[in-house]
Structure 1
């Protein structure tokens, strides 16, 4: 069954979101141009490094809501989602589950170890069933 409106996914690393909103800004602009809905997602770690965070999902849900409020996507229907686990796997899984049309995500400049280990963006590009638009940080 075909959808009338496209669905975009923009994963956001909230640890770097204050200094870099390039992919989010592009996702919002793309959603406006395509009259699409936008999922803004973040992936929480399985184990929090900060022991003061007792409820990881609640904490990251609040942080994601604050990010979207501070960076309004006027004219775009936005849904927020928090997942836990390995970032690259959760992005691909979410895109597949929700039948996303396009993933819009950041990619940092690669370093030597990225070529050996693989970056989040390269994993998503390789494994996603939909198109992936990578925005350089």
Structure 2
């Protein structure tokens, strides 16, 4: 039984939430669980050769995009975490630190041999301390 569910999302790819968000809402309701969402802003904005302050508004921008998506899908009540760094590492750190016992993550389309299982998804599945549900497109 899940008590805290973490939904991973990428606001730039609707495949990351079109099927996963309704499933996460359904699972949270079924279990009476707390549902949270996370998007990780990639670590590229932390590179030393970029100008000072580059990406300073990235977290606010991403939060606004996710809030709009959630508002349009009856999920405005879901807390949103915006992390910055390595995608899979930040998901795993947050899940462990905050005691999530289920991670819901969508697969993505890709080329053989990694179609639908990208490197971040594979690392989350392999290294998570809790159950991971993969929502296939």
For the criterion TM > 0.5, the same-fold answer is yes
Q: Name the CA distance, whole Å, in 2 between partners of 1:11 and 1:122.
A: 13
Structure 1 residue 85 displacement after superposition:
1.1
Find the counterpart in structure 2 of residue 23 from structure 1.
20
Contact kept, 8 Å, 1:40 with 1:78, in 2: the verdict is yes
Contact 1:24 1:105 in 2 (8 A): no
- State how 1:57-96 maps to structure 2 within 5 Å: 57-73=59-75, 78-96=78-96
- SS of the aligned residue for 2:12 comes to coil
Deviations 1:60-119 (A, max 9, x none): 111121121111138xx521110011111111111001110100110124533538x952
For 1:45 and 1:109, how far apart are their aligned partners in 2? 19
Residue 128 of structure 1 aligns with which residue?
128
Query: TM (normalized to structure 1)?
Result: 0.80
Note the aligned Cα RMSD (angstroms).
2.7
Give the alignment of 1:32-71 within 5 angstroms: 32-48=29-45, 54-71=56-73
Aligned residues: 128
**CA shift at 1:46, angstroms?**
2.4
Using a 3 Å threshold, how does the CA distance of structure 1 residues 18 and 53 change in structure 2: closer, same or farther? Answer: farther
Q: Contact between 1:109 and 1:136, CA under 8 Å: does it hold in 2?
A: no
